[in-house]
Amino acid sequence: MHDAEPSPADFVASLAPEVDRLVIAGHRAAGPRVRPIREELALPNFGVLIDLRKLLLSPRGMDLVAAAAIERYRNPGDIVADIGRHVSQGLLRWNLERVVPTNGGRMLLDRLTIALGEAVDILWPDVEPARDVTATLHAVIEEARASLSPDRFPAFYAEDGGFMPDRPSPAMLLWSMLSSLRYLRADAHALAWRARGLNREEILTLTAGCNRIDTTTVTQVWAGVLADARTLFQTLDRLRERGWVSQSGETWTVTSAGREVRREIERDTNRYNSTPYAILEPPQRERLLDRLGRLPGDGG
């Protein structure tokens, strides 16, 4: 008697860490090439210029709805402030309700794109494996476009529809596809936690607490999760009312009910994420995992 083949949901649960590893590796590999550009321009950081590069370089520029989808775990006011800072630097400008780069901003975004491309070319120099993987990923992305609603998967559609250089290298194409699929999973995750009635602050707080096994103080677990301490305690109070965290003095703990809800959210994330991958036969899924697992992920 043979073991049952893993379901598409089980497959995407195994795939997600590989996608994360490789997308992050690309960013890390680009870091040494990006830092001199930032220092040359005397910019403290690139902010949305890095995270929303593909949207800003698209023909019509970027709208705030797409920006908020990509940056859904940031306060929307902070995104607008970031844009305003780059407007004052002469790198971005408003065009009605959209944000577009100035000539100088476009030159900078082009340089960042080239830096990323050069970095991933060095990270993944073997052309044939990259082409082998991208053929499979292309089929999944095409199925996602055909079967998933932009209203439910806005970050995927924003990232996937953003700028790509003409004739990208196999490594750059692979990295961009992986990035689009990473946002597909992010959308699936948002669907799952919203279905439980959670907001952005609550899912961040619940997840941070679940990542710790022992009981601990708020400052130890949630430092840096929410910038505003008042918002953090209000969020913890709401989670406590639902029985998902408990408090003893200064110590807050995620309850067993809270951990089970977090596990349910992960299961639903996998289910929502799995839809376009169902077109792959089990041997294709196994081959994809194997090929991605063989790709270097040390971005420096």
Residue 37 shares a structural domain with residue 64: yes
- pLDDT number for residue 221: 64
The answer to the question of residue 261 being in a domain is: no
pLDDT in tens, 6-41: 789 999 999 999 999 999 999 999 999 999 999 998
**190 and 243 part of one domain:** no
78 domain-assigned? yes
Residue (of 5, 8, 1) closest to 267 by Cα position:
8
Residue that wins the pLDDT comparison between 218 and 13: 13
> Do 37 and 139 have their domain in common?
yes
Mean pLDDT across 148-160? 97
CATH number of the domain where residue 206 is located: 1.10.10.10
Residues 261, 279: Cα–Cα separation, whole Å = 29
Task: Specify the number of domains making up the chain.
Answer: 2
121 in the same domain as 40: yes
108 and 18 housed in the same domain: yes
Helix axes 200-210, 256-273, angle to 10 degrees: 110
Is 1 within a domain? no
Q: Is 300 a residue whose pLDDT tops 50?
A: no
34 plus 24 within the same structural domain:
yes
22 and 48 housed in the same domain: yes
Q: For the residues 110-123, what does the mean pLDDT come to? A: 96
**According to the model, what pLDDT value does residue 130 have?**
76
Percent of the chain with pLDDT over 90: 75
pLDDT at 1: 41
Q: Residue range 250-257: average pLDDT?
A: 88
Kindly compute the dihedral angle of the four CA atoms of residues 81, 97, 34, 183, in this order, to the nearest 10 degrees: 100
pLDDT at position 37 is 93
Q: Average pLDDT over the chain, rounded to whole?
A: 91
Q: List pLDDT tens digits, range 36-90.
A: 999 998 888 888 899 999 999 999 999 999 999 999 998 889 999 999 999 999 9
Detail the DSSP E strand segments found in 230-278: 245-248, 251-254
So what's the pLDDT on residue 270?
98
pLDDT at 299 over 50: no
Q: pLDDT at position 209, please? A: 86
* Beta strand extents in the chain (DSSP E only): 62-63, 92-95, 98-101, 216-217, 245-248, 251-254
Provide the domain limits for residue 132. 8-194+267-293
- Give the tens place of pLDDT for each residue, 128-138: 777 889 999 99
68 and 157 housed in the same domain: yes
Residue 300 lies in a domain: no
Residues with Cβ within 8 Å of 116's Cβ and at least 6 positions away in sequence, in order, are 26, 30, 33, 34, 172, 175
The answer to whether residue 4 scores a pLDDT higher than 80 is no
Please, are residues 14 and 60 in contact by the beta-carbon 8 Å criterion?
no
